[in-house]
Amino acid sequence: MTKVAVVGAGVMGCAAAWALAARGAEVTLYEQFGAEHTRGSSHGRTRIFRLAYPEELWVELAQEALAGWRELELESGRDVLAPHGLVELCSSVDVSSRDVLAARGIEHKLLDRDELRAHRVELPDGWVALWQPDAGVVLADEARHAFLDVAQPNWETQHRVESLDALDAEVVVVTAGPWITELVPDLPVRVTRETVAYFARDGTPVPSVVELDDESRRHAMYALHDPKFGLKAGAHHAGHVADPDVEEPADPVIVARIVEWVRERFPDVDPHPVAADSCLYTSTEDESFVLERRGRLVVGSACSGHGFKFAPAVGRRLADLALG
Ligand SMILES: Cc1cc2nc3c(=O)[nH]c(=O)nc-3n(C[C@H](O)[C@H](O)[C@H](O)COP(=O)(O)OP(=O)(O)OC[C@H]3O[C@@H](n4cnc5c(N)ncnc54)[C@H](O)[C@@H]3O)c2cc1C
């Protein structure tokens, strides 16, 4: 049985532990804080899950992840996906994911303004809305617990790993999120502190909403269902470069920007936020992920603010790298 140490118990470390345990490895998971800490990237109730991306590689990875989430639900007996659907808002259909979804045979359709209003979302003049039903939210805290319930790793919390060489393991998987460069110094990543805000909303959950940037075709503003308050909204890559060891609250300037957007896109929602929070991104320039083997080390990093949805697929790739 291969002894594997996993450093960092955010969603990627938990997913790696799950995939490694399924392949018979003896896994020890190290976490510098407590099991429910809110200092990294994975805490909270929900994250957007979507198949729709304008680039095929992400669509393929999301399809693989969807199958993985379904397997995890069966294995753990927990619900981890809530399928409220996705609305992609774009200034033109050429910016949207339509062509890739069509090429891969994934169900989708364009909505007119009235059809979008039925989802209680407002379409800007001249824009298009693409609906994709196999989407919604991942229940983030539930998902981490589901991975751990199934994997049952040896589990050391409040243990900050200072030296990878000192770990008693044949392979070390490093999933240290925003702290990764303390352990793997040469990674081309930057850490930013991002802000989300919550709004009171009752009734049927909203679909997840992503508004794509014209040039990058990546999401800019986004919103999703929050089981506690009703609506969570944020601005992708709007935050400042941050030191993960310094705790900071939500940025009021970004909250104000989110408020304006929510006021325009969700006319039936009270635009006064009921809560706000901050969270860390670890990003590469092109939002790709670092998944690589270096001798005894496997590095799993840089989920660039959109990684949660892919966790089962990332966990399996890390297990492949670790076990060969
Ligand atoms: C505001 C926000 C919104 C997001 N929205 C979405 C979304 O809608 N959809 C989506 O798919 N993704 C989303 N993401 C991205 C997603 O949440 C992240 O990609 C994912 O959580 C990254 O997980 P991770 O395990 O790599 O990092 P982390 O969750 O940060 O985990 C790293 C862990 O390693 C531990 N650690 C670090 N160093 C050490 C050490 N030396 N010893 C022991 N432990 C250590 C840390 O304490 C931490 O627990 C969002 C992220 C943020 C911040």
Q: What was the pLDDT predicted at 302?
A: 85
Residue 79 has pLDDT above 90, yes or no: yes
Domains in the chain, CATH or no CATH each:
3-323 (3.30.9.10)
pLDDT greater than 90 at residue 282: yes
From atom 33 of ligand 1, which residue's Cα is the shortest distance away? Answer: 8
The model's confidence at residue 279, banded by pLDDT at 50, 70 and 90, is very high
Instruction: Among 157-171, 179-193, 214-228, 266-280, name the one with the lowest average pLDDT.
Output: 214-228
Whole-prediction pTM: 0.97
**Cβ proximity of 291 and 311 under 8 Å:** no
Average pLDDT, the chain: 96
Dist. CA 308 → ligand 1 center (Å) = 8
pLDDT of residue 268: 94
Give the pLDDT score at 283: 94
Reported as a single tens digit per residue, the pLDDT across 188-209 is 999 999 999 999 999 999 999 9
DSSP alpha helices (H): ranges in the chain? 11-22, 56-76, 98-103, 113-117, 140-151, 180-183, 252-265, 311-323
Structure tokens at 136: 């919604």
- Check whether 321 has a pLDDT greater than 90: yes
Q: Mapping DSSP to helix (H, G, I), strand (E, B) and coil, where does residue 176 land? A: coil
- Contact criterion met (CB below 8 Å) for 265 and 242: no
Q: What is the rounded CA–CA span in Å between residue 77 and residue 99?
A: 36
pLDDT in tens, 87-118: 999 999 999 999 999 999 999 999 999 999 99
If you average pLDDT over residues 155-180, what whole number do you get? Answer: 97
Question: Any residues with Cβ below 6 Å from ligand 1, and which?
Answer: 7-13, 30-33, 39-42, 47-48, 160-161, 175-179, 183, 194, 196, 234, 279-281, 303, 305-309
